[in-house]
């Protein structure tokens, strides 16, 4: 008997059964539920703030001119976000503008976000990692060769003297479209900053268009700065292998090409050993892992419009979800 010839009552019963089966399968197929649970355990940790710090950093206030401790500060080191510890500025980019606030003519790549004020007259700068208010940026003043001035509230920053920055470590991870990998890693516990770019190819200064042609050999890669006091390379690598499918070869979901290959670019023998052991574990548990373990080379920072893409556009990854594998 064909399906079309079923009596109405029987067809109705089959429809009910099908609906129940589909509903029952939803929790099994929506792996994003697992990711939500994981993210609640690894959400960004923010430092506690004093009322005055909160006024400036959270509510976008301004400290009085010439009152901040870093206005005339000229020691060598790195300025980090007071709220989340993300590196923001190098002391080599600080200059005296006599404006009453610390001034910088460059930022650490990917560390600062720009947003036009509501009145359209000034451009606000915030920490790209946590959104904390820093100050404003101005161009065209001819104060330095770079012709730009980041006017930053001292109270929005902390200073790490030269020599202590070594505590920050790096990881380079590739697993499909770098938009998704960055989006899921940037708020992971212990991660200080992330940037997207290209690694593993054979040409210098590749552009996105060139990488997409498949002729440069680069993989879309995420650079991760992390605090070894809050996390470690193994923990990051485990999570990385759970937010993309490491068994896919030269692709991730609908994105196809060797630029979307899965790779861990190790910086030292310790990272190499950890990556190889994690892959061995997965292979022993039924996964045919295709992830490459390759020595890190030059990381070429990607175009600005690719940095924090999903955060800028209010979207979510379409081919990266969390799936527990360890």
Cα–Cα distance, 15 to 9 (Å, whole number) = 10
User: Is there a contact between 151 and 96 (Cβ–Cβ < 8 Å)?
Assistant: no
Instruction: Check: CB of residue 259 under 8 Å from CB of residue 211.
Output: yes
Q: How far apart are CA 312 and CA 314, in angstroms?
A: 6
151 is catalytic: yes
| In contact, 102 and 83? CB cutoff 8 Å | no
- Asked if 131 contacts 98 with a C-beta cutoff of 8 angstroms, the reply is no
Of 127, 130, 151, 319, the catalytic one is 151
Alpha helical stretches, state H, 4-136: 8-29, 32-41, 51-57
Q: 167: which residues sit within 8 A by CB, 6+ positions away?
A: 227, 228, 229
Contacts of 241 (CB under 8 A, 6+ apart): 278, 279, 282, 289, 291, 325, 326
Catalytic residue among 81, 127, 130, 177: 177
How far is CA 25 from each of CA 21, 55, 239, 242, 257, rounded to the nearest angstrom? Answer: 6, 48, 25, 21, 32
In order of 176, 251, 286, the CA distances from 255 in angstroms are 7, 5, 24
Which two structure tokens, joined as six digits, stand for 16?
Answer: 């009910």
Dihedrals phi, psi of 300, to nearest 5 degrees: -100, 115
Q: What are the E-state strand segments in the chain?
A: 77-81, 87-90, 94-95, 103-104, 112-116, 123-127, 133-139, 148-152, 157-161, 169-175, 191-199, 219-226, 251-252, 255-256, 262-266, 292-295, 300-301
- Residues 6 or more apart whose CB falls under 8 angstroms from that of 92 comprise 76
The reply to whether 81 belongs to the active site is no
Structural contact between residues 115 and 106, judged by C-beta atoms closer than 8 angstroms: no
Catalytic positions, written as ranges: 151, 177
């Amino acid at each position: 008997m064909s399906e079309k010839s079923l009596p109405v009552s029987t067809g109705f019963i089959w429809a009910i059964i099908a609906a129940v089966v589909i509903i029952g399968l939803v929790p099994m197929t929506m792996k994003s539920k697992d990711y939500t649970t994981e993210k609640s355990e690894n959400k960004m940790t923010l430092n506690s703030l004093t009322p005055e710090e909160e006024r400036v950093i959270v509510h976008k206030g301004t400290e009085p001119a010439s009152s901040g401790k870093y206005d005339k500060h000229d020691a060598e080191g790195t300025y980090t976000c007071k709220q989340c510890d993300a590196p923001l500025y190098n002391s080599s980019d600080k200059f005296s503008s006599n404006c009453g606030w610390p001034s910088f003519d460059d930022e650490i790549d990917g560390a600062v976000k720009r947003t036009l004020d509501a009145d359209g007259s000034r451009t606000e700068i915030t920490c790209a990692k946590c959104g904390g208010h820093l100050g404003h940026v101005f161009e065209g003043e001819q104060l330095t060769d770079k012709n730009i001035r980041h006017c930053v509230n001292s109270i929005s920053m902390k200073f790490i003297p030269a020599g202590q920055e070594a505590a920050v470590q790096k990881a380079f991870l590739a697993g499909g479209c770098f938009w998704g990998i960055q989006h899921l890693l940037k708020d992971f516990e212990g991660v200080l900053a992330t940037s997207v770019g290209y690694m593993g190819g054979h040409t210098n200064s590749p552009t996105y268009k060139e990488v997409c042609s498949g002729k440069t050999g680069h993989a879309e890669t995420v650079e991760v700065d992390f605090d070894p006091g809050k996390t470690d390379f193994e923990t990051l690598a485990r999570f990385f292998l759970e937010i993309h499918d490491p068994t896919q070869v030269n692709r991730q979901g609908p994105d196809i090409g060797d630029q979307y290959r899965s790779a861990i670019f190790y910086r030292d023998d310790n990272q190499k050993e950890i990556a190889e052991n994690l892959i061995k574990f997965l292979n022993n548990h039924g996964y045919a892992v295709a992830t490459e373990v390759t020595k890190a080379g030059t990381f070429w920072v990607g175009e600005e419009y690719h940095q924090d893409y999903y955060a800028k556009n209010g979207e979510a990854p379409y081919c990266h979800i969390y799936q527990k594998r360890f």
